[in-house]
Amino acid sequence: MAETKRDYYEVLGVGKDADDAAIKKAYRVLAKKYHPDMNPGDAEAEKKFKEASEAYAVLSDADKRRQYDQFGHAAFEGGAGGAGGFGGFDFNSADFGDIFGDIFGDLFGGGGRRGGRANNGPMKGANIRKSIRITFEEAVFGCEKELDLVLKDPCTTCNGTGAKPGTSPETCPKCGGKGQVVFTSQSFFGTVQNVQTCPNCGGSGKVIKEKCSSCAGTGYTSSRKKIQVSIPAGIDNGQSVRIREKGEPGINGGPRGDLLVEVNVSRHPIFQRQDVHIFSTVSISFAQAALGGDVKVPTVDGDVIYTVKPGTKTDTKVRLKGKGVPSLRNSSVRGDHYVTLVIQTPDKLSAEAKEALRKFDLLAGNSLNQATPEDEKGKKKKGFMDKVKEAFEE
Ligand SMILES: [Zn+2]
Ligand SMILES: [Zn+2]
């Protein structure tokens, strides 16, 4: 009848002396590789998955493992002598649900309900995602925000059961309270079993005959709540703040999910940010550039006075140490603020100012560089304005 069964240890690829952790680890690897969800329509993978699951069901159970070690597969062949205690391995047995709950809970990252996982044990509620917009300065220095949120709470009338007071939810007749059902189908390789969430109770294992009128049988009521959100100094655009247990209520006594608040930082009219550093541009006059002098430089800490050195060229970069953004990890450490000094070429000049500039040019030893008839060879001497122009055209 049955084809020759492979040794369970061989199936999982572990030694006879493997401990529980090693067996579980080996099964997780195989289950992930061959799980029907990962290999839709692949009968061979499904067979391997079933084989590994069967091996795991036996080797992860101390009693069954002892029987298997003593009698081999015969231990589970009903009436074939051996231990005779529990007959053939049965995918419909209660053990199977436990295996799924145990393995697949973490295999699929927790909180998931894939693969018909029995979910009538305590489970963490789902996370809620929200976003808020804050200013550039609020991101730099941190801020407190209030979020207006509709949150679910377990219904107080029915204590979250969803059943009318005085009644209680009944065990689902379709799945017998397990929250999952096993579908059997025949394939070339034999009988294939799929475990799925019970369609009758949605996986809760319970059905409600008379619904609670306060929550219409959902077990939850919703209300608007104000949640305080502390945005840490140094947060950047797109980062999220996690507020524990302000998400969806837990299931069957599990903890609430978390609230994840994504932060969107508005652009600043003069500051740009890169990691912990701030960048900006400050205009200085030609006279300030030539003679030096104090200029006002806006920073996130307010204006600071920077002394421009005489003979400063346009596009000179200045570092204001520690005037940048605090580090998220350690707010006492701050980045720097880089200022680019740009010389403004005057374009609206009074006659008086023009005269002063011409005078300056002469005094500085420059010609006005006007094309005159004497400039026959077109030889050009570079004047001051050309130099300024060049500086800008670089
Ligand atoms: Zn209720
Ligand atoms: Zn059910």
Measured CA to CA, the distance from residue 155 to residue 24 in angstroms comes to 39
What pLDDT does 299 receive? 97
Distance 171 CA to ligand 2 centre (A): 8
Higher pLDDT, 257 or 194: 257
**Cα 310 versus chain centre, distance:** 51
Ligand nearest to the CA of 176: 2
Distance 245 CA to ligand 2 centre (A): 28
What pLDDT does 385 receive? 59
Tell me: the pLDDT tens digits for 260-296? 999 999 999 999 999 999 999 999 999 999 999 999 9
What pLDDT does 91 receive? 43
Higher pLDDT, 133 or 68: 133
**What are the backbone dihedrals phi and psi of residue 294, each rounded to the nearest 5 degrees, phi first?**
-90, 135
Distance 158 CA to ligand 1 centre (A): 4
Distance 388 CA to ligand 1 centre (A): 78
What pLDDT does 123 receive? 84
Q: Which helix (H) or strand (E) holds 387?
A: helix 384-393
Burial of 205 per CB tally in 10 Å (0-12, 13-18, 19+): buried
Distance 247 CA to ligand 1 centre (A): 19
Distance 123 CA to ligand 2 centre (A): 17
Mean pLDDT, all residues of the chain:
82
Distance 368 CA to ligand 2 centre (A): 95
What pLDDT does 387 receive? 57
Ligand nearest to the CA of 173: 2
What pLDDT does 136 receive? 97
pLDDT above 70 (res 107): no
Distance 204 CA to ligand 2 centre (A): 7
What pLDDT does 38 receive? 76
Lowest-confidence region among 137-151, 270-284, 352-366: 352-366
Distance 220 CA to ligand 1 centre (A): 6
pLDDT-based confidence at residue 148 (cuts at 50, 70, 90): very high
pLDDT-based confidence at residue 168 (cuts at 50, 70, 90): confident
pLDDT above 80 (res 365): no
**What are the backbone dihedrals phi and psi of residue 73, each rounded to the nearest 5 degrees, phi first?**
-60, -25
What pLDDT does 342 receive? 97
Confirm if 215 and 158 have CB atoms less than 8 A apart.
yes
Distance 128 CA to ligand 1 centre (A): 22
pLDDT above 80 (res 220): yes
Distance 221 CA to ligand 1 centre (A): 7
What pLDDT does 225 receive? 94
Of the chain, the percentage scoring pLDDT greater than 90 comes to 44
Distance 167 CA to ligand 1 centre (A): 11
Give strand pairing partners of 226: 148
Distance 53 CA to ligand 2 centre (A): 23
Cα-based distances in Å from 101 to 58, 79, 118, 123, 254: 16, 31, 6, 11, 15
Distance 207 CA to ligand 1 centre (A): 14
Distance 159 CA to ligand 2 centre (A): 21
What pLDDT does 253 receive? 79
Lowest-confidence region among 9-18, 183-192, 300-309: 183-192
What pLDDT does 389 receive? 60
Choose from 109-123, 136-150, 368-382 the range with maximum mean pLDDT: 136-150
Higher pLDDT, 185 or 167: 167
Q: What is the pTM of this model?
A: 0.56
Query: What is the mean pLDDT of the segment spanning 84-106?
Result: 41
Distance 181 CA to ligand 2 centre (A): 7
Residue with tokens 């507020």: 243
pLDDT-based confidence at residue 79 (cuts at 50, 70, 90): very low
Measured CA to CA, the distance from residue 163 to residue 220 in angstroms comes to 11
Distance 235 CA to ligand 2 centre (A): 46
Lowest-confidence region among 29-38, 43-52, 160-169: 29-38
Query: What is the mean pLDDT of the segment spanning 212-235?
Result: 93
pLDDT above 80 (res 234): yes
Distance 180 CA to ligand 1 centre (A): 24
Distance 52 CA to ligand 1 centre (A): 43
Give strand pairing partners of 191: 186
Distance 162 CA to ligand 2 centre (A): 16
Distance 207 CA to ligand 2 centre (A): 7
pLDDT-based confidence at residue 373 (cuts at 50, 70, 90): low
Distance 252 CA to ligand 1 centre (A): 14
pLDDT above 80 (res 205): yes
**Cα 158 versus chain centre, distance:** 35
Confirm if 202 and 217 have CB atoms less than 8 A apart.
no
Longest dimension (CA), the chain: 124
